[in-house]
Chain A
Amino acid sequence: MKMYVVLFFILGISLSCKKNFTEFLEKPPGVDVTIDTIFSSERQIETFVASLYYYGLPAPTMPNWDNNRARIDGTIAGATDEAETVMTWYWSNRWNVGDFSPSSIIDLNYNNRWRVIRMANIIIENIDNSPVSNPNFKNRVKGEAYFMRAFSYLEMFQRYGGVPIVDKVLDVNDDLHIPRSSVEQTVDFIVNDADLAASLLPDSYPSNQRGHAPKGAPLMVKSRALLYAASPQFNTSSPPLSLGNDNSLICYGNYDQNRWQLAADAAKAVIDWAKTSEWCALVTDKGPSENHFYLYEYPDNSEVILAKKELNVIWTAQGQTWKSILPSALGGPGGTGVTLNFIKKYEKKDGTPQIWNMNGGNNLQQLYNELDPRFGQACAYNLSFWNEDFPYMELWRGGKHSADNITGVFLRWPLPRQQRTSAGQIPNEIQFRLGEAFVNYAEALNEAKGPVSEAYVAINTIRNRSGMPNLPSNLTKEEFRERARNERTIELAFEGQRLWDVRRWLIAINEGVMRGDMWGIKIERNADNSFSYEPYVFERRIFEAKMYLEPFPQSEVNKGYLVQNPGY
């Protein structure tokens, strides 16, 4: 009997404890941020969206200053004939000497971009089920996700050709051995995402929400993607280096003139959208010698469709973000020099080429003064005005600001004049501006239909607002192509575009573009206070055909399902 009492007692205790102990061992729910938390309110979703922009927008011209993302020093302009970064350890110098390989890739954002694609996929998969009720808000966020996914794929397409398409949130148990898609599939994917984004995003934002992508941003992605796709690098059956049976991963496999028409239509769509947007327009009202300055000196001006808003610190001239572009005499670490190869591309104000004597000359200031007004708005040349602190740049040998002066001319874009030792400006980095759509349109339309009048209108619009005369009429298709390319190069100078342009045009390997002699000038002050110049080769650069495409990381290729680009 007593025994049963005891057994009963023990049994009773055990049963009463069971529930207790399950709870005892369970981590309390609701303490962690999960997918459900993120999509529970507009405020939480906005947090996630902020990170989408934080990780998602590339920074080709300004260094990132935190370690969460890949950091490039200085501007990528130094990779091409645009410029030379003085500091040898700066990123662009790796392009100059061909210092990258599968075990040390040049694309520092490789992993980061997949993170962004994952974040976009998380939004796309979850936003519809969110309890948030505001449909405009949901559409906007979903549109931003599609836009960012399209933009990330564009960034990969221009580097690698066809890449694997990841259109869902991958989990531990998913098969991650996704092979590369063809160039065609990749471009179609970008276009499709861009179209979806454009259908969801609003035309404009109130000023306290600038920085979010408006409808124009995915339209620009589409325009750029189709322009690249129609270009000689991809719109061909014979890529610079063959991948054999896998050539569809790096080109279309044929030439199709209609691709240019699609590119022209996409560019036109941006221009048309701008007209209806009621805010987006070219900057034309500041005058030929100020319009170009205004573009980058004033954040969120009417031409900026989307800018990266990296910081809210008002950096003075010594400030970190812009410091790497600042010449040493002005407080920077060295600065960035503009090459003579590039300055030769600036036409004279009358639209004819400037004559540079490669043996030197005594008329330097005169040559400078004759150039396209955009030259002085992007470059700091001898005796030019930097800002109130440095009204005259003394760039001759022995001049006050001649330290680290390799090329004779310093890059001043994108440092605003109002940025001084005592006062500054918030840095915004332009991702897309309307001007690009005009040069995209002119180039593509000429390829599709020849130099028709709409192509002239587009390019002359850009020229005229900077005080440059119309292109001569009756140019042949080939002549127009050269002028359109040159116009694009000057208009979008230093904005991180030329590295891709010279590759898609397949001219990077040409002497003086990304390969061969890079020229600067040595400046002497003469006794009569005039200045003479003497061109000289400051660097001999390397570019091999394989560098038209970048290598995938060896560690990824080793996993066995990624076809490496040719030559690596």
Chain B
Amino acid sequence: MIDKQYILVFFVSILFVNVLFAQDLDSVIDLGLNKYPAWKNTSAISEIKREGIQTNFTNSLVKSLGGKVHGLSVDIHNNEPGVKNVASLYVRGRSTFSSGTQPLVIVDGFEGFMDKILPHEIESIKILKDAASTTIYGDRGANGVILINTRKGRMESLEINLNIKHGIQTPTALPKYLGATSYMHLYNEALYNDGIKKLYNQEDFDGYENNASPYLYPDVNWYDVLLKERMPLSNYYLHFNGGNKVARYFALLNVLRDGGIFKNTENLSGTLSSDDYTQYNFRSNVDINVNKSLLASLYISGAVGEKNSMGGENTNSIFDLISNIPPNAFPVYNPNGSYGGNQLYVNPVGELQSKYHTVDDRMLSVNFRLTQNLGSVLEGLSVSSGVSFNNYHASYTMQEKGYRRFSLTEHNTSSFLYTAFGDESPISKDESNADRWQNFTFDAMVNYDRNYGKHDVDGVLMFKVSDKQQSYDYFPYRHALLGGSLLYGYGEKYLTSFSFSYDGSYEFSSKEKFAFYPAVSLGWIVTNENFFKDNNIISYLKLRTSYGLTGNDNIGASRRFLYNEFYYPALSYYFGSSNSSHSGLSESSLRNVNVTRERQKEFNFGAEIQLLNTLDLQVDLFKRKRYNILTKTHDRYSAYLGLESPELNVGEVENSGMEVSISYKYNSNNFSLGATMNAWYAENKILNNAEAMNLYSYLYKRGHPIGQPFVLESLGFFKDQDDIQNSPTQGFGTVRPGDIKYKDQNNDGIINDNDMFPIGLPSLAKLNAGIDLFIRYKNFAVSVFVNGVSGGTVSLDPKYYKAIQNQSNVSDLALNRWTENMADVATFPRLSSINNENNFKASTLWQRKRDFLKLQNIELSYEIPKRTLSVLGIQSSRLYVSGNNLWTIDHMEGLGDPQLVHGRYPALRSYNLGVDIKF
């Protein structure tokens, strides 16, 4: 660990400077960093304020940003409350095929952690997109930067805000599986198709018809048995905000409770438990003017999460299980109260009640900063130094016990035979797993901001070190960065800026340790020209452009420090007549002494326009090229190397697109109207990925976007044996009429993996759009948020279509299966009880368009007139009802949410009722 004495040196020196230069200045300075007035901006930045996020919030900040702010795509992959990594974030789409795609998150000037922060503690979020704005972040700028600015105290008297929100949530769509009798009919049909004797005879169907015995003739819908129809969701927060010239504070307490989805959740010891998530947040942001030229800021925040889950560490295994069990497999409980089950399947309720996992995590973040105004030395000069500690710890507790499940057979009319599976075992507890990281950052900077008549100069020079340690990693992640920017403006018309960074990264050899990133930008405020002064239509027009270099040192290498050769302990060999063990040593992939970071060149052109003083328009066009992408090379090294091919920085991706934002505002005493439309588009193309030579040119990933699906092209179903005879041979097992017929892309007469053709689009949609609408009439207000994407493809999860495979369930997709009579209208291949690889290869049949349009949020609110409440000391209060994820148009045919196609924890719709009171 680095010697931290220098931090003290910096702080002491600021205090020393303060003593040296302490004198009264005319006014208290407000030292936000880089607080350019909007007109000075020459780079592509999008911004969203708290109000815009709060209404769309259910249980996660990341999820509530989806569609809200242009240039930021949110790809949700897990909807379970309280899990880590709920979504991947992409600024301007994907620009690299390596795994390091995540944007840098900066909270109040320091690297932060977005998972636990809540919208209520945020003032605004900015997305820095182009090179001009991200270049000073050095090795971590290329994926874009998310700047979170938390709420600070205002120089006003104390305001207390209490907000209470209660809601209920319900799944929007669950996979639909067939009931027992339909399942049995289809199973018999599958057997018939395979030329095997029927399994279920008339007696079995009669059993169901006559409701003979729910034990011998079970018909269980496990979704009904396990899942609640409604789950509670609530959020409470209380914050204090106020201050004066000496000190300002913002303090917040928030409690979020998200009820779990499972019922039947008596836990291991028999007491009722649940699979819920609770999160407590606190924040205390204090700014103190020590004297008139020295500002001290102390921001402390924390979050405590407590996640209880039944049936496993997360709900995935339960959802996978209940999507597989046939409805007639076994009853939930046997007549004697024991769990039903069979050899193949465990009992989902038994699973819930015998596995209880908890995750307790804590995050603590402390930022401290001193800012010294040196206006007395040089007007506009200030110095500042800050330090930040972020700390995260999660501990995992697993309690499990073994249980028995019994399969039933009828012994005689009054009794059953029980066959036991599984073993009883006492509760075992494992608390050994933990996860932690800590992050330390220190910075020091000089700011200069001065106006000389027509000349505006604005400069910053900063130095920053950061050090992150995390569990399961022997070595830290470190950076030392020198960066700065200088902006010069003339007459509030012409702007030019230069910014740079010189960043050193722990990841690379001393030869490649440091990288230099420059960027330039230009701006022209056309409307400030004399010839434009009297224009009534275009009230504001700024044109700006930027070009620069950024980097990414999260290169997705198979191991860190690729520049070192790496030998790992190999399995033993034996010597001596009694074969005694000798440990071995084996060389990992070939070292690459030149390994370095990804770099990106980006050009941006933007315009900011205001029409008629009311309609704002912002347009940005970009084109970027990411190069030096680390990629495993399959195209150059031969096997003679004797090792796996090295990873080289030879990958290249081109990405271009645009962002448009249009907003309109009207405000009067009784009526306000606001509308914002955001749309953004990004399309990438792999230029080089060092992939292996292919026999057929269409097999190359190069030239396609990242994540391009390669699938077999379905031509429908084989009509009859003649059709099979006259078609190319399909190499995935014997085919029969009703099986999927694929296109022979290379006309070699054989269908195999060489016929996987690039069809469809990557799952991350190219086009994102969101519309926010706000209308207020007197005390009533309504806000609406609609969100949509277009230009993406999803592949259905096999659990939806692998009917009967491995004794599994049948989803209602199979109702449109191929039979001889239904051959013309079938959308699903013939059923088969045996492994039918042919029908379940990745193919166009199982692709769906991702495109959707969602009514994400509506909120209706009523502002209670002030005089009614003033007697209670209440300044204002607002009642509101809201709904989230209310309605969707998509191509999913009711199978689930287009954003969550894996058939696990479902997408939820919620209805909320809330009150917001300010004292």
Answer yes or no: do A and B interact.
Answer: yes
Given contacts A17-B6, A25-B513, A166-B640, contact A34 B565 (CB under 8 A): yes
A47 at the interface (CB under 8 A from B): yes
User: Which of B377, B573, B692 sits near A2, CB closer than 8 Å?
Assistant: B377
CB–CB B565/A50 < 8 A: no
Q: A177 is contacted by which of B480, B574, B638 (Cβ under 8 Å)?
A: B638
Q: Would you give the shortest CB distance from A4 to chain B, in whole angstroms?
A: 11
A residues in contact with B21, CB < 8 Å = 2
Q: How far is the CB of B576 from chain A (nearest CB, A)?
A: 4
Q: Which of A10, A23, A66, A171 contacts B571 (CB 8 A)?
A: A66
**Is the CB–CB distance between B641 and A114 below 8 Å?**
yes
A164 at the interface (CB under 8 A from B): yes
Chain A nearest Cβ from B872, distance in angstroms: 55
Shortest C-beta distance, B5 to chain A (Å), equals: 9
Any chain A CB within 8 A of the CB of B82? no
B564 touches A25 (CB 8 A): no
Q: In the complex, which of the residues A54, A210, A554, A562 has the most CB atoms of chain B within 10 Å of its own CB atom?
A: A54
Q: Scan A295-330; emit 1 where CB is below 8 A from any B CB, else 0.
A: 000011000000001111000000000000000000
**A209 contact from B6, B575, B639, Cβ within 8 A:** B575
Is residue A488 within 8 Å, beta carbon to beta carbon, of the partner chain? no
B9 near A24: Cβ-Cβ < 8 Å: no
Task: Return chain A residues, CB-CB under 8 Å to B478.
Answer: 24-25
Q: Does A5 contact B (CB under 8 A)?
A: yes
Is there contact, CB below 8 Å, between A54 and B641? Answer: no
Question: When the two chains form their complex, are residues B580 and A559 in contact, meaning their CB atoms are under 8 A apart?
Answer: no
Residues 108-121 of chain A, each 1 if its beta carbon lies under 8 Å from chain B, else 0: 00110011111100
- B residues less than 8 Å from A68 (CB atoms): 570-571, 586
Q: How far is the CA of A9 from the CA of B636 in the complex (A)?
A: 54
Q: Select from chain B the residue with minimum beta-carbon distance to A171.
A: B590
Question: Across the interface, do B638 and A561 meet the contact criterion of CB distance under 8 Å?
Answer: yes
Q: Is B206 an interface residue (CB 8 A)?
A: no
Please determine whether A555 and B692 come into contact, CB atoms closer than 8 angstroms.
Answer: yes
List the B side residues contacting A34 at CB < 8 Å. 564-565, 567
Closest residue on chain A to residue B474 by CB atoms:
A31
Which B746-801 residues have C-beta < 8 A from chain A? Answer: none
Find out whether the CB atom of A114 lies under 8 angstroms from the CB atom of B10: no
When the two chains form their complex, are residues B587 and A211 in contact, meaning their CB atoms are under 8 A apart? Answer: no
CA distance in complex: A178, B561 (Å):
29
- A164 near B640 with CB under 8 A, answer yes
**A30 to chain B: closest CB distance in Å?**
11
Given contacts A2-B377, A33-B566, A212-B575, contact A27 B506 (CB under 8 A): yes
B6 and A50 contact, CB distance less than 8 A: no
CA gap between A212 and B10 in the complex, in Å:
63
Q: B585 contacts the other chain (Cβ, under 8 Å)?
A: yes
Chain A positions 32 through 67: 1 when the CB is less than 8 Å from some CB of chain B, otherwise 0: 111101100000101110110111000000000010
**Best-buried of A5, A46, A47, A554 by chain B (most CB within 10 Å):** A47
Task: Contact check, B594 vs A172: say whether CB atoms are below 8 A apart.
Answer: yes
Interface of A is mostly: helix
> How many angstroms between the C-alpha atoms of A34 and B561 in the bound complex?
13
Check A117 against B573 for contact (C-beta < 8 Å).
no
In-complex Cβ contact of B578 among A110, A115, A176, A426 (8 A): A426
**Most interface-central of A27, A53, A208 (chain B CB within 10 A):** A27
Contact B587 A119 (CB under 8 A): yes
**In the complex, how many angstroms separate the beta carbon of A367 from the nearest chain B beta carbon?**
39
Q: Contact between A46 and B642 (Cβ–Cβ < 8 Å)?
A: no
Q: Does B592 sit within 8 A of A, measured CB to CB?
A: yes
Contact partners of B20 in chain A: CB under 8 A: 2, 5-6
A191 CB to nearest chain B CB (Å):
21
In the complex, which residues of chain B have a beta carbon less than 8 angstroms from the beta carbon of A118?
587, 641-643
Contact B639 A556 (CB under 8 A): yes
Contacts of A171 in B (CB 8 A): 590
Chain B CB within 8 A of A545 CB: no
Does the CB pair B639–A553 fall under 8 Å? yes
Known: A13-B13, A47-B584, A66-B571. A176 touches B6 (CB 8 A): no
Q: Is the CB of A20 within 8 A of B3?
A: yes
Q: In whole angstroms, how far apart are the Cα atoms of A209 and B582 in the complex? A: 11
Contact B693 A558 (CB under 8 A): yes
Q: For residue A48, which residue of chain B has the nearest CB?
A: B585
| Total B residues in contact with A, Cβ cutoff 8 Å | 69
For A369-405 the 0/1 string (1 means CB < 8 A from B) is 0000000000000000000000000000000000000
CB pair A209 B576 closer than 8 Å? yes
Q: Which residues of B contact A9 (CB under 8 A)?
A: 13, 16
Question: Are the CB atoms of B465 and A24 closer together than 8 Å?
Answer: yes
Q: Check A473 for interface membership: any CB of B closer than 8 A.
A: no
Q: B636 touches which one: A55, A111, A428, A559 (CB < 8 A)?
A: A559
A3 at the interface (CB under 8 A from B): yes
Closest residue on chain B to residue A14 by CB atoms: B463
Q: Which residues from 394 to 435 on chain A have a C-beta closer than 8 Å to any C-beta of chain B?
A: 426, 428
Q: Does A16 interact with chain B (Cβ within 8 Å)?
A: yes
Q: How far is A171 from B21 in the complex, measured between Cα atoms in Å?
A: 60
Residues of chain A within 8 A (CB-CB) of B467 are 24
A116/B13 in contact, CB under 8 A: no
Shortest Cβ gap from A416 to chain B (Å)? 14
| Pick from B3, B575, B585, B641: contact of A38, CB under 8 Å | B585
Q: In the assembly, what is the distance between CA of A2 and CA of B20, in Å? A: 8
User: Which residues of A have CB within 8 Å of B587?
Assistant: 115, 118-119, 122
State A122–B638 Cα separation when bound (angstroms): 18
**Is A474 among interface residues, defined by CB-CB distance under 8 A?**
no
In the bound assembly, the distance between CA atoms of A468 and B561 in angstroms comes to: 64
Which residues on the B side are within 8 Å of A562 (C-beta)?
638
Q: Name the A residues within 8 Å of B697 (CB-CB).
A: none
* Across-interface contacts of A311 in B (CB, < 8 A): 574, 579
Most buried by A among B567, B572, B635: B567
Residues of A within 8 A of B592 (CB): 172
Q: Which residues of B contact A13 (CB under 8 A)?
A: 6, 9-10, 13
- Residue A26 at the B interface, CB < 8 A? yes
Given contacts A21-B465, A118-B641, contact A172 B577 (CB under 8 A): no
Q: Shortest CB–CB separation between residue B380 and chain A, in angstroms? A: 14
Complex alpha-carbon distance, A556 and B634, angstroms: 10
- CB of B505 within 8 A of chain A? yes
Q: Mark B509-547, 1 if CB is under 8 A from A, else 0.
A: 010010000000000000000000000000000000000
Report yes or no: A176 in contact with B576, Cβ–Cβ below 8 A.
no
Contact between A25 and B480, CB atoms less than 8 A apart: yes
Contact call A312/B570, Cβ cutoff below 8 A: no
Asked if B574 contacts A310 (CB within 8 A), the reply is yes
CA of A208 to CA of B695, assembled, Å:
52
Give chain A interface residues in 349-365, CB to chain B under 8 Å. none
Q: Is the CB of B513 within 8 A of A51?
A: no
- A170 CB within 8 Å of chain B: yes
Contact between chains at A50 and B584 (CB < 8 Å) = yes
Any A CB within 8 A of the CB of B887: no
Q: Does A245 contact B (CB under 8 A)?
A: no
Q: Is there an interface contact between B585 and A47, defined as CB atoms closer than 8 Å? A: yes
Complex Cα gap A311–B474 (Å)? 33
Q: Which residues of B contact A35 (CB under 8 A)?
A: 565
Q: Closest residue to B20 on the A side, CB-wise?
A: A2
Residues of B within 8 A of A170 (CB): 640-642
Residues on B with C-beta less than 8 A from A300 are 577
Pick the residue among A33, A38, A119 that contacts B642 (CB under 8 A).
Answer: A119
**Min distance, Cβ B476 to any Cβ of chain A, angstroms:** 9
Q: Is the beta-carbon distance between A114 and B567 smaller than 8 angstroms?
A: no
- In Å, the complex CA distance between A164 and B590 comes to 20
- Asked if B17 is an interface residue, CB under 8 A from chain A, the answer is yes
Residues of B contacting A559 in the complex (Cβ-Cβ under 8 angstroms): 635-636, 638, 693
Contacts A/B (CB < 8 Å), 20 sampled: A2-B21, A21-B465, A25-B479, A26-B513, A31-B474, A34-B567, A38-B567, A50-B584, A51-B585, A53-B573, A54-B570, A68-B570, A110-B639, A114-B642, A115-B587, A118-B643, A119-B587, A209-B576, A300-B577, A311-B574
The 5 closest A-B pairs by CB, nearest first: A118-B642, A51-B584, A558-B693, A312-B579, A309-B574
Given contacts A33-B568, A176-B636, 8 further A-B contacts (CB under 8 A): A3-B378, A24-B2, A26-B506, A47-B582, A116-B642, A164-B640, A172-B593, A299-B577
